[in-house]
Amino acid sequence: MLSNSNMKTTFLFIFTFLSLQRFGSSINFTSNVTCIVTERQSLLAIKRTITDKHNLLSTWSGVECCEWHGVGCDSRKGQVVKLDLRRPVPWEDFNKKWLEGELSPSLQNLKHLRYLDLSMNNFYGKIPEFLGSFEHLEYLNLSGSGFSEGVVPHHLGNLSRLQVLDLRSFLTFNDRYYVPFFAPIVDDLRWVSSLSSLMYLDLSGIDISNHTDWFHPVNMLPSLLTLNLAWTGINVPSTQFVNFTSLNSLDLSMNFINSTIPLWLSNLTSLMHLDLSINSFHGNIPGFIGTFNSLASIDLSYNSFDTSMPDLLCNLSSLVHLDLSYNIFSGPVPSNLGLLLRLEYLNLRYNHLTGPIPASLGLFSKLKKLDLSGNSLVGVLSETHFTNLKNLIHLDLSLSGLALNFSSRWIPPFLLQKFIASSCSNIGPYFPNWLHTQTHLQWLDLSNTSIRGTLPEWFESILSHILYLDLSNNQIGGKMPLFHFNTKDPIFYDTSLKMNSNKFEGPLTAFPSNVKLLDLSDNLLSGEVPQTDGTMNLTLETVNLSKNRFTGNILEDLCKVPSILVLDLSQNNLFGVLPECLGNLSSLLAMDLSNNTLTGLLPSSLGSLTELTTLHLHNNRFEGNLPLSLQNLMSLVTMDIGYNFLVGEIPFWIGENLSRIRILNLQSNKFTGKIPLHFCQLNALQYLNLAQNNIIGTIPPCFANLSGMITNEGNIRYNIHYYKGTTAYRIYNYEENIVASMKGIQLVYTKTIKFYKSLDIVGLG
C-alpha cells in the first residue's frame, strides 16, 4: 500500500542515493585483507559496552575483523574504513531487534573511518564529541540511534570531508511518526558552514528553535542536494536569494511556520521534492512553483491556503506526488489536471472543492492513490473515470458528495488495497457487486452507505488480506460471518472490525483473531459472549458488544486477554456476578457494564485497575458496600454506579483520593449518612448525582467552591487515548456518556457532556 509516509520515504531514499553517487564510488570495501590488530581490539571494546540481545554482532569473533558483519576494510591497506551497525531488520520489527547501551570511546581509534552508520538503535546519552575527530569521514548516519541528551556537538564541524550527515531523531512507519520524548538540541548551527562537501543534511526532529540562525550556515553549502528540517521549530527568513541552488529535496514540514511561501524558493529551480506540510502557510501559490520542471513531489497538506485550486500546478509535467489535503482550497478541480500524466499520488482530502470531477481523471494510467474525501463535489463517477486506472490501489471517496454509477457486471481494471466510501449515500441498497474482484483489499470502509439485506455469498472471499473493515451504520442483516484478520504482526496495524449499528442476528460463535478493535454494538446478536480456549491469537484492545441481546455470565475467559483497553458490554441481558479475575486486566482504560442484570458484590480486585479512566455499572443489581480498594483508581474521571442496591455511608475516600473525578453518579442506591466534607476537594467535579438515597444532613457550604461546576471546561477531552512507547496514537474513541433526568425526562449526554454541569441531591433529609 502506498501510504503518505511510504511515499515520502521512497523519495528520501531516492535523494540519498543521488547524494551518495559520487561519495560511494570513492571507497573500496573488501574482506580479503588481513585485519589490523589494534583495530580489531577497538571493535571488540565497542562490542563489550553494547547489549546485543539478538546476536546481531555474532560474527564478531576470530582474528579477521574485516569479515565481520558491518565492517569494511580498505582493499589495499586493510584499515577499517566502514562501520555499519544500522539495525538490519524491517520496519515491522521496530521495537524488537536493536543494539543498546553505551558507545565506547574506543570507536575513535578507528581513525580511517569514511563511513559510519549507527542508526535505528538505542544508544544512551549524548552524541559523543569524539565523532568530530574522524578527519576522513564522508558519511555519518545517527538517525533514530537513541542519543537523546544535550546539544549536538559543534565538533562535527571538523568533518570537512563529510558528504552525508543524518541526525534525524524521528522515523516514520505506516503513516505514524515515532518521536522520542527527548532528543538532542542545536544551540548554534554555525559549525555546519564548515562542512563544505556536504550534499545531504537531515536534522529532522532536532530542536533548532526560533532563536538559532539556521539559514545562513546552511546557505554556505553550495553542493547541498538534500535538506530536511522537519519538526525542528524553525521559521523561514524573508531573504530573496540563496546559494544552495543545486538543492533537489527540501523538507520543512511540521514546523507550524506562519508565513506565505517564501520568495527565495524561486531560486531552487532543480527541486524534485518539496514538503511544506503541517505548517500555517497561507496566501496564494506563487507562480514560480509552476516553472519547476523537475518537481516530482509537492506536499502542501495541513496548511491554511485559502484560494482556488491553482491551475499552475497542472504545468508540472514531472509531478508524481501531489498532496493538497487539509487546506481551504475552493472552486472546481482544474479541467486540465489530466496533463499530469506521471501522477501516482493525488490527495485533495478535506478542502472546499466544488463541481464535478473532470473526465481527464481517466487519463491517469499510473495513478496509485486517489483521495477526494471531505469536499463538496457534485456529479457522478462512472466506469469511464476509471477505465485506464489499472494501477490504482487506494481510493477514498468518503464525504466527497460524489455519486457512483457502476453496472452490476463491471469488472474494474484495478486491484484495490484500500477502498473508503463512508457516507456515499447512493452505494446501497445492495452490496457493490464489483467488489468481488478486489481480492487484495486490506482496508474497506462502506459505513453509512444505505446498504441493506444480507452480505453476498462471495463476501468472505475478499477478506483474505483484510486489516480494517467498517460496515457500520447500515441495515445489513443475517448471521455474522467468520473473520480472521491475516497479519503476522498485528502490533503494527490498527486491525479493526466495525459492524456496529446494523441488524446482524444470532450467536457470535467466536472472537475474531488478530483484531485490535472489535465493535459489534447495536445489533440483534444473542446467545452467550464467546468463550476463548486459550489457543486463539487474541490481540483485542477494544471490545464493544453493547446494545445487543447477549445473555449469560461475564466469562472468566475475558480475563485471559490482558491487552483489552476498552470493554463495553452495556445494554444486554447479562446476569450473574462479576468474576474476580477482572482485576487482571491491568491495562483497562474504560469498562461499561451498565444496563444489565448483574448481581452480587463488586469484587475488590477492581481496585487493581489503576489505569481505569471511566467506570459504568449503572442500572444493575449490585449490592453491598463499595470495596475500599476502589480508592486506588486515581485515574478515574467517570464513576457511574447509579440505580443499584449499594449500601453503607458514602465513602469519604472518593473525595480524598479520586481527585480527577468529573462525573460522579451514585443515584438510586441505599447509601446513608452525610455528604462527606472531603467531596469539597473534587475541584474537577462537574456532574454530581446523589438523589434517591438515604442521605441526611445539609449541603456542605464548601460546595460553592467546586470550581468544576463554575468554570468553562469545554475544551476537556473525554476520548480514551492510548500511549505506547514513544508514540501517541488513538486506538479508539470511547464515547463517554451520562444519563440525566430533567423534568421527568431522561436525556443521554455524549458529545455535549463536556459542557454539562449538574448537582442533584433531591431527597436529602
pLDDT tier at 141, thresholds 50, 70, 90:
very high
Residue 620 DSSP class: S
Please list the residues that pair with 200 across neighbouring strands: 164, 226
Is the separation of the CB atoms in 282 and 306 below 8 Å?
Answer: yes
Contacts of 382 (CB under 8 A, 6+ apart): 405, 406
The model's pLDDT over 639-651, given as tens digits with 9 standing for 90+, comes to 999 999 999 999 9
pLDDT score at 12: 46
Does residue 712 carry a pLDDT above 70? no
Decide if pLDDT at 393 tops 90. yes
Q: What is the pTM of this model?
A: 0.88
pLDDT band with cut points at 50, 70 and 90 for residue 171: low
Question: How many helices (H) and strands (E) in the chain?
Answer: 5, 53
Instruction: Give 666-706 pLDDT, tens digit per residue.
Output: 999 999 999 999 888 988 999 999 999 999 988 888 887 88
In the chain, pLDDT over 90 holds for what percent of residues? 68
Here the contacts of 32-38 (C-beta below 8 Å, separation 24 or greater) are: 32/66, 32/75, 33/66, 33/73, 33/74, 33/75, 33/76, 33/77, 33/78, 34/64, 34/66, 34/78, 35/63, 35/64, 35/65, 35/66, 35/73, 35/78, 36/65, 36/78, 36/79, 36/80, 38/109
Cβ atoms of 480 and 504 closer than 8 Å: yes
Identify whether the C-beta of residue 179 lies closer than 8 Å to the C-beta of residue 170: yes
The predicted structure's pLDDT at residue 765: 54
Does 16 have pLDDT greater than 90? no
Q: Which three cell numbers stand for residue 566?
A: 476498552
Classify strands 115-117 and 139-141 as parallel, antiparallel or unpaired.
parallel
Q: What integer best gives the mean pLDDT of the chain? A: 87
For residues 268 and 261, what is the distance between their CA atoms, to the nearest angstrom?
13
pLDDT at 725: 31
- What pLDDT digit, counting tens, does each position of 346-377 carry? 999 999 999 999 999 989 999 999 999 999 99
pLDDT at 233 over 80: yes
If we measure between CA atoms, which residue out of 717, 736, 8 comes closest to residue 320? 8
Question: How crowded is the C-beta side of 578, counted as CA atoms within 13 Å?
Answer: 23
pLDDT for 179: 57
Nearest to 617 by CA among 657, 661, 664, 585: 664
Which of 321, 435, 439 shows the shortest CA–CA distance to 371?
321
For 212-229, the pLDDT digits (tens) are 899 999 999 989 999 999
The Cα-based distances of 747 to 641, 665, 741, 750, 758 in angstroms read 17, 14, 6, 10, 13
User: How far is the C-alpha of 74 from the C-alpha of 29, rounded, in Å?
Assistant: 5
Asked if 450 and 425 count as a contact pair (C-beta separation under 8 A), the reply is: yes
Better-predicted residue by pLDDT, 238 or 376: 376
Cis peptide before 429 (omega within 30 of 0): yes
List, for residues 17-47, the tens digit of each pLDDT value: 444 444 444 455 555 778 999 999 999 999 9
Express each pLDDT in 54-76 by its tens digit: 898 999 999 999 999 999 999 88
Q: What is the pLDDT of residues 94-120, one digit of tens each?
A: 455 789 999 999 999 999 999 999 998
**Residues near 711 by beta carbon (within 8 Å), at least 6 away in sequence:** none
- String of DSSP letters for 294-317: T--EEE--SS---SBPPGGGGG-T
SS3 (DSSP) at 336 = helix
Say whether 158 sits in a helix, a strand or coil.
Answer: helix
* More confident call, 141 vs 533: 141
| All domains in the chain, ordered by first residue | 415-535 (3.80.10.10), 553-760 (3.80.10.10)
